[in-house]
Amino acid sequence: MDIRDLMYLEASAAAGNFTRAAKSLQINTSTISRRVGRFEDELGLALFERRHGGVRLTSGGKAVLPHIRRALAELDAIRHAGDQNGTGTVGDVRLAVRMPPIGEPLCSLLLGWREKHPEVVLTVAEMNEWEIQTAIQERRVDVALMTSHTLWPSAVTAPLYRERVVAAMPHGHPLSNQEALDWESLRKEMFLVQGWDTSQSAREFYASFMGSGVRFHTHAASKQCVFALVGAGFGITLATRSQSEVVFPGVVYRPIREENAWLGVELVWCPDAEDPAVGRFVAFMRDEARSRRLF
């Protein structure tokens, strides 16, 4: 039994004539007649009554035909699914992020991806850099968005965009009266940072701007929790411009007038990953960022 036999049988039943069926399939009439006869011998059942004007299904043929049509429909569904998944138009992308994907330009990048690939399911997990590195290596996530200073040496990356860094402080803080700040004016403040036993990258990042001697209070918590503590008057923190678009009670933001007051965001992935949807996501994000000149 061959897939072509099923196609020949269905076409012959629809056409009522081997010659017309052969023409629709662009094969010889003798081929279709021979293959149908061989299939009947294999089943031990006459499927067609041969007449001078054409062919007509027997009762046995009428019983077999619905199964043939279902089999052909399933084969078409398999081909369609294979085509879609093979080109990455459907599938899943597991995205890890170092910080919440809020504000511009990330929101518009993700929106553009969603509009062009509505059948690809995007799942986001927020992790610190060590968790992301492990998850990428163990294939628990497919791709990640990370800040440049948190990358590990062997990471395969592409730059996406840069964001200005701003100061976040409690409402009414003396520095909030200034239109813009510099690093020297911030050095005496208590800085609230995220940190874990395996990761102090935020603290190191802050220190790269302001040098040694800065006071830090580290919290193994989300950035949202840090903002909440800022709003409660426990200290100040640094934020990206996109994060400053989110309103937290009691928190105000001020720009920093320093040339190095920016943060880079990069795309990280496993080069051995073979999922077409992941490949499409990487290519889209990378190419879109380049076309917009975001970095």
What residues contact 74, with CB distance under 8 A and at least 6 apart? none
> How far apart, in whole angstroms, are the C-alpha atoms of residue 222 and residue 132?
15
Residue-wise pLDDT tens digits, 234-250: 999 999 999 998 889 99
- Other CB atoms within a 10 A radius of the CB of residue 42 amount to 11
Domain boundary among 68, 87, 106: 87
Question: With 90 as the cut, is the pLDDT of residue 53 above it?
Answer: no
Residue 231 is predicted with a pLDDT of 96
Answer yes or no: do 144 and 270 share one domain.
yes
Say if residues 54 and 17 touch (Cβ distance below 8 Å): yes
> How far apart, in whole angstroms, are the C-alpha atoms of residue 143 and residue 120?
14
Characterize the bridge pairing of strands 251-255 and 237-240. Answer: unpaired
Mean per-residue pLDDT for 34-56?
89
Residue 83 is predicted with a pLDDT of 60
Enter the tokens of residue 175.
Answer: 């520095």
Residue among 98, 100, 147, 155 nearest 127 (CA): 98
Residue 199 is predicted with a pLDDT of 80
Residue 238 is predicted with a pLDDT of 96
Answer yes or no: do 99 and 76 share one domain.
no
Q: Which residues face 63 on adjacent strands?
A: none
Q: What radius of gyration do the chain's Cα atoms show?
A: 32
Residue among 147, 254, 249 nearest 206 (CA): 147
Answer yes or no: do 231 and 97 share one domain.
yes
The total number of structural domains that make up the chain: 2
Answer yes or no: do 81 and 96 share one domain.
no
Question: With 80 as the cut, is the pLDDT of residue 86 above it?
Answer: no
Residue among 157, 147, 151, 149 nearest 271 (CA): 157
Task: Look up the CATH number of the domain holding residue 67.
Answer: 1.10.10.10
The parent domain of residue 216 ranges over 91-292
Answer yes or no: do 98 and 205 share one domain.
yes
Domain boundary among 66, 87, 108: 87
Supply the mean pLDDT for the chain: 89
Answer yes or no: do 188 and 141 share one domain.
yes
Answer yes or no: do 54 and 173 share one domain.
no
Mean per-residue pLDDT for 207-228?
91
pTM to 2 decimal places: 0.68
